[in-house]
Amino acid sequence: MRFAENSVNKVSEKNSTLHFKSAKEKMESQLTSGLQPELLEDDQKQWLAYAICGAITSDGSVAPEELEYLERALAFLPSETEVNNMMRAVKDQKLPELDRFPGATREMEVKIFIDLTSVISVDNVLGANEIDFLLHIGRKLGFGREFVRVV
């Protein structure tokens, strides 16, 4: 896997401070779709973090443009142990298989899918593996192939 190793190490070094955000910074954590992760339940945050990391790594590399999303995803996790596990999973490209998004409303599912498409397109390259990821995660969010293709 091609990896922006220095950049990821910088993220790793900063991870201990990610959990102690001010109210202003929490407002800034709002995602592209308007989804506010701080309003999600812990299991939903963890699912979203793994989905974002899956989107980032779906093309086999981590582009510098994707690091902001990686930092945000790590900030969703409640403990240092989970942050470290996530970083290891990203580096090893061994992210766990996700089930359906827990306790989702249709609005949440749409917003999450929009955010994941933003993550994938941030480097302005859309490869076959990224399309496959979107199709797969779209099914996990309850969307059919046609919806995913339209988005």
Q: Is residue 29 part of a domain?
A: no
Q: Is residue 10 part of a domain?
A: yes
Write down the pLDDT at residue 29: 58
What's the domain range around 113? Answer: 2-17+37-150
**Torsion on CA atoms 43, 46, 48, 54, rounded to nearest 10:** -140
How would you write the pLDDT of the chain (151 residues) with one tens digit per residue? 444 454 455 554 444 444 334 333 443 456 778 788 888 999 999 999 999 999 999 988 888 988 889 998 999 888 999 999 999 999 998 888 999 999 989 999 999 999 999 999 998 888 999 999 999 999 999 998 888 877 6
Pairwise CA distance, residues 7 & 129, whole Å: 23
Q: Is residue 23 part of a domain?
A: no
Domain count, the chain: 1
Contact 109, 101 (CB under 8 A): yes
Q: Is residue 54 part of a domain?
A: yes
Q: Is residue 134 part of a domain?
A: yes
- 3-state SS, one letter per residue, for the chain: CEECHHHHHHHHHHHHHCCCCCHHHHHHCCCCCCCCHHHCCHHHHHHHHHHHHHHHHCCCEECHHHHHHHHHHHHCCCCHHHHHHHHHHHHHCCCCCCCCCCCCCHHHHHHHHHHHHHHHHCCCCCCHHHHHHHHHHHHHCCCCHHHHHHC
Q: Is residue 68 part of a domain?
A: yes
Instruction: Write down the pTM of the prediction.
Output: 0.79
Q: Is residue 55 part of a domain?
A: yes
Q: Is residue 32 part of a domain?
A: no
Question: Residue 84 corresponds to which tokens in the numbers above?
Answer: 């470290």
